[in-house]
Amino acid sequence: MNVVALSGSTAGSKTRTAMDYTAASLQKQLPDSDVTLLDLAEYDVQFSDGRHHLDYDGDTGYVVRTMMEADAVIIGTPVFQASIPGTLKNLFDLLPGDGFSGKVVSMLVTAGSAKHYLIAEQQLKPILGYMKAEIVQGYVFIEEKNFYQKQITDDDVLFRIDRLVEDTAFRTGVLTRIQEEQDAAYDF
Amino acid sequence: MQQYGIDESKGLEFGIYTLGDHLPDPHTGERISAQQRIQEIIEFAKLADEAGLDFFSVGESHQEYFATQAHAVVLAAVAQATKNIKVASSSTIISTSDPVRVYENFSTVDLISGGRAELVAGRASRIGLFDLLGYDIRDYEALYEEKFDLLRQINEQEKITWSGDYRAPLRNAEVLPRPQKGKLPIWRAVGGTPQSAMKAGYAGVPMFMAHLGGPVDAFKQTVNAYREAAAAGGFDPAELPVATAGFFYAAETTQQALQEMYPHVNEGMKRTNGRGFAKQLFAQGADTRSVMNIGSPQEIIEKILYQHEVFGHQRYIAQIDFGGVPFDKLRKNIEIIATDILPEVRKHTAK
């Protein structure tokens, strides 16, 4: 299994802190899988110009290829201006329209305030649905108050991340079996 | 239709196209050399010609897993090796070439072939060639529209005076040699969407419509949009030919055809397009209402006749060799087309 833990912002540190823990949890729970932590802050990703996803090169090409080769993606995102960051939307724009087809995608959201709780529900899920993701419906929402000096201080948050990782992994395995069973139904 | 060399009294024209892809055979994992691939394309054209097919075309793609970047050169060899079949591109990427040089090449292919050349001009679905050949991807649309228009003007006028944004002006320029019949049939490549088809229609240019898969019904909207746009542009849609192009594979039974072809399409798409072809979609391709012509000879005859009834098109072009299909299978397919499919299709579509 090929799992990507994506930190979808170039600003701030909370999402990266949460995704570091998420990646470690993935590695612990799935020792035989390839886990890639992809932090968009570490790459010089260009704006989408509409080209075929294979035609991007450099950092953009690496990021796009890593996403396309994943069986599962845990998207970590902050909330900026009551929405997802432009960096994350740009990553979606770099991918094909049904770029999440056959992939399990789950969400982890960090925000300064609980008022942003439904941003993922109302803004992120519709994009993932359009791009044909198999969405893990429940997401982890982490507030500012759960962080101290780039550490998560609340065990409940850690438990929720562990459960999100478990759900993502389990569903990816099941999705693979569904696909295999469906393909086996055809005699070619 | 006559000015485009199409005689509807003989029925639907049947052709072959290759993108010139150079991929391993997924059944063996082996890939033939580029030299062998090009020789086999020429041999494939010879077989199609000897079998009485109407049309053979070669595509231009400047990326990994393709071998016919210099497609006009390959077409010159095809022209020399064949006797009756029409030879064309599918497509020539006019956006990143000089229309004068393209016209010189294709009128030369026309003279080599004795008046059998045609040109299908497209704008590339991939953009690596913009970097390779020194063009800016931001000019994607503008380059295509300007250069396609210039190409058509060169075809219409023996002496041309022209100026534009992407090429040095031409003053009373003669573009030589001229093709045998004075003009080449020039088609606009359309990727299947109505928006793109309408541009061909407004300009009154023949439409070469490529499609991967899907219901015939859906592509009917594209054909309708094309003809409506042509009428709105002051052209008679009855005088404008439509060609459709897509996957084809015939075997004794539909099941066998699906079994043999699926790995080629799936693995070939993975390499050239980044993702495979879903089995579910491929299985639907066997349905009579699907635009994909994969199945037994009888099933394919029914499909092509149904497509002809719906589209009223003048030419169907089969892509058989995608994804490293071995040459003996190509030979077998040409045999099936010549003996089983072509006679029936012609009998039922001749006007």
Domain boundary assignment for chain A: 2-184
Residue B10 φ/ψ, nearest 5 degrees = -90, -5
Residue A109 φ/ψ, nearest 5 degrees = -120, 135
CA distance to partner chain B, nearest, from residue A185 (Å)? 10
Contacts with B274 from chain A: Cβ below 8 Å: 52-54, 68, 96
Contacts with B137 from chain A: Cβ below 8 Å: 49, 51
Express the helix, strand and coil content of chain B in percent, nearest 5 each. 50, 20, 35
Cα end-to-end span (Å), chain A: 25
Contacts with B138 from chain A: Cβ below 8 Å: 49
CA distance to partner chain B, nearest, from residue A187 (Å)? 7
Contacts with A54 from chain B: Cβ below 8 Å: 126, 273-274
Is B126 in CB contact (< 8 Å) with chain A?
yes
Question: Is A96 close to B275, i.e. CB distance below 8 A?
Answer: yes
Cis before A25? omega within 30? no
Cis before A78? omega within 30? no
* Residue in A52, A187, A188 closest to B127 by CB: A52
Residues 151-210, chain B: which have Cβ within 8 Å of A?
A: none
Q: Strand locations in chain B, DSSP E?
A: 13-18, 55-58, 86-89, 92-93, 119-122, 159-162, 170-174, 186-190, 207-210, 242-250, 293-295, 315-319
Q: How far apart are CA A159 and CA B228, in angstroms?
A: 61
Question: Is A51 close to B137, i.e. CB distance below 8 A?
Answer: yes
Question: Is B274 close to A54, i.e. CB distance below 8 A?
Answer: yes
What angle separates helix B327-336 from helix B34-50, to the nearest 10 degrees?
10
CA distance to partner chain B, nearest, from residue A54 (Å)? 7
How many Å separate Cα B207 from the centre of its chain? 10
CA distance to partner chain B, nearest, from residue A158 (Å)? 35
pLDDT tens profile A54-94 = 999 999 999 999 999 999 999 999 999 999 999 999 999 99
pLDDT tens profile B10-43 = 999 999 999 999 999 999 999 999 999 999 999 9
Q: What is the pTM of this model?
A: 0.92
Is B221 in CB contact (< 8 Å) with chain A?
no
Give residue B235's region: left, alpha or beta (phi > 0; psi -120 to 50): beta
CA distance to partner chain A, nearest, from residue B217 (Å)? 23
Q: Are B343 and B1 in contact (CB under 8 A)?
A: no
pLDDT tens profile B110-129 = 999 999 999 999 998 888 89
For residue B127, what pLDDT is reported?
Answer: 87
Closest residue of A to B136, CA-based?
Answer: A49
Question: Is A187 close to B259, i.e. CB distance below 8 A?
Answer: yes
How many residue pairs bridge chain A and chain B with CB atoms within 8 Å of each other? 39
Question: Is A182 close to B283, i.e. CB distance below 8 A?
Answer: no
Residue B160 φ/ψ, nearest 5 degrees = -125, 135
Q: Are B159 and B174 in contact (CB under 8 A)?
A: yes
Contacts with A183 from chain B: Cβ below 8 Å: 279
Closest residue of B to A180, CA-based?
Answer: B279
Is B277 in CB contact (< 8 Å) with chain A?
no
Q: Give the residue among A129, A144, A61 at the shortest CA–CA distance from A98.
A: A129
Which of A54, A67, A132, A182 to substitute to test the interface with B, most B CBs within 10 Å? A54
The model's confidence at residue B192, banded by pLDDT at 50, 70 and 90, is confident
Task: Tell me how many helices (H) and strands (E) chain B has.
Answer: 12, 12
Averaged pLDDT for residues B51-72? 97
Q: Among positive and negative, which fits the CA dihedral B125, B129, B135, B137?
A: positive
Q: Give the residue among A64, A141, A147 at the shortest CA–CA distance from A107.
A: A141
Question: Is B279 close to A51, i.e. CB distance below 8 A?
Answer: no
Q: How far apart are CA A150 and CA A162, in angstroms?
A: 18
What does the domain layout of chain B look like in residue ranges? 2-349
Q: Are B205 and B186 in contact (CB under 8 A)?
A: yes
Q: Strand locations in chain A, DSSP E?
A: 2-7, 34-39, 72-78, 104-111, 134-135, 140-143, 147-148, 151-152
Q: Give the residue among A88, A107, A112 at the shortest CA–CA distance from A40.
A: A88
Place of tokens 């064949």: B82
Q: How far apart are CA A79 and CA A85, in angstroms?
A: 7
Question: In sequence order, what are the residues at sequence separation of 6 or more whose Cβ sits closer than 8 angstroms to the Cβ of residue B275?
Answer: A68, A96, B269
Which of B62, B65, B125, B127 to substitute to test the interface with A, most A CBs within 10 Å? B127
For residue B156, what pLDDT is reported?
Answer: 97
Contacts with A53 from chain B: Cβ below 8 Å: 274
Query: Would you write out chain A's pLDDT as a tens digit for each of its 188 residues?
Result: 999 999 999 999 999 999 999 999 999 999 999 999 999 999 999 999 989 999 999 999 999 999 999 999 999 999 999 999 999 999 999 999 999 999 999 999 999 999 999 999 999 999 999 999 999 999 999 999 999 999 999 999 999 999 999 999 999 999 999 999 999 999 89
Q: How far apart are CA B45 and CA B35, in angstroms?
A: 16
Strand partners, B122: B93
CB-based burial label for A82 (10 Å; 0-12, 13-18, 19+) = exposed
The model's confidence at residue B79, banded by pLDDT at 50, 70 and 90, is very high
pLDDT tens profile B270-328 = 999 999 999 999 999 999 999 999 999 999 999 999 999 999 999 999 999 999 999 99
Question: Is A182 close to B279, i.e. CB distance below 8 A?
Answer: yes
Q: What's domain A2-184's architecture?
A: 3-Layer(aba) Sandwich (3.40)
Name the CATH code of domain B2-349 (choices 3.20.20.30, 3.30.450.20, 1.10.10.10, 3.40.50.920).
Answer: 3.20.20.30
* Residue in B125, B138, B255 closest to A187 by CB: B255
* Residue in A55, A68, A186 closest to B283 by CB: A186
Question: Is B126 close to A55, i.e. CB distance below 8 A?
Answer: yes
Burial per residue of B152-184, b for 16 or more beta-carbon CB atoms within 10 angstroms, e otherwise: bbbbeeeebebeeebeeebeeeebeebbeeebb
Contacts with B279 from chain A: Cβ below 8 Å: 182-183, 186, 188
Chain A positions contacting chain B at CB under 8 Å are 49, 51-55, 68, 96, 182-183, 186-188
Q: How far apart are CA B269 and CA B292, in angstroms?
A: 15
Question: Is B255 close to A188, i.e. CB distance below 8 A?
Answer: yes
CA distance to partner chain B, nearest, from residue A107 (Å)? 24
